[in-house]
Amino acid sequence: MQSPFIDNLSIVLVEPQNPGNIGMVCRAMANFGVCDLRLVNPCQYLHPEARKFAVAANHLLGEARVFADLPAAIADLHVTVATTRRSGRLRGELLDIAEVPALRQGLPAGGRMGLVFGREDVGLTSDEVALCSHAATIATSAEVGSINLAQAVLLFAHELARQPQALPAAPERDVPEQGALEGLFGQIEAVLTRIAFLNPKKPEGVMNSLRQIHQRAGLDRRELQMLRGMWNQVGWSVRDWQGRKRGDE
């Protein structure tokens, strides 16, 4: 049997709180040949407890990259999957863990997929889920639904590793990185704020839905540039707009 090796997968941990859990995540990653660990505002990940639980995967702790926020951590990734057990309108459609391997079809040559995991106590926020191109969950018991962080990483990595050659080759597409999409969303939010379409106290109510629409569309780089040009022109056109006059219908 061929040893599993997933060289185009990144594991992103958002504000992990326990060094031991980070160490166990490293061990789970090493079990399936995953080498890229990204930490967003973590606890002391080089703590002796982390090294203790990493066992033979200690090297992954030293190679981990630390980021100040989630957008920076996933900016160069092409497909990102937020892992969550909570559903809701702002979180969009939740895929089952078994559907995640098929997302690798959307990767361009040399592209990377990221699995994003939240805090041990509260997981990912709705805004963090919205930053990712997809969201997925693991069906668990209603009585005890939450899964240990390292166990969740292990389950997702195993699901990907056991289907390494199961997918047909996808047509080559110039898929943009997540960071490029963030530029588009920033333009959209700026224009919609300017024309008073967004609720300034809760812009995510609309923006998260718009993110989901664009993520489902699976934009290629040419389409992204067209949309950015369009929103740039719209932004230029409304730069002197004073807003609706009182009494306008």
DSSP 8-state code for residue 2: P
How does the average pLDDT of the chain come out, rounded?
87
* In this structure, CATH architecture of domain 178-237: Orthogonal Bundle (1.10)
**Nearby residues of 225 by Cβ (< 8 Å), 6 or more positions away:** none
Own/partner long-range contacts of 164-168 (Cβ < 8 Å, ≥24 apart): 164/2, 164/4, 164/5, 164/6, 166/101, 167/101, 167/102, 167/104, 167/105, 168/105
Cβ pair 35, 145 in contact under 8 A: no
Virtual CA dihedral for 133, 111, 101, 50, nearest 10 degrees? -90
Segment 190-203 mean pLDDT: 88
User: What does the pLDDT look like over 37-59, one tens digit per residue?
Assistant: 999 999 999 999 999 999 999 99
Which residues of the chain form CATH 3.40.1280.10? 9-161
Which residues of the chain form CATH 1.10.8.590? 178-237
Per this entry, what is the length of the chain? 249
Question: In this structure, which topology does domain 9-161 adopt according to CATH?
Answer: Alpha/beta knot (3.40.1280)
- What's the pTM? 0.83
Residue 247 in this model has a pLDDT that exceeds 60: no
DSSP 8-state code for residue 106: G
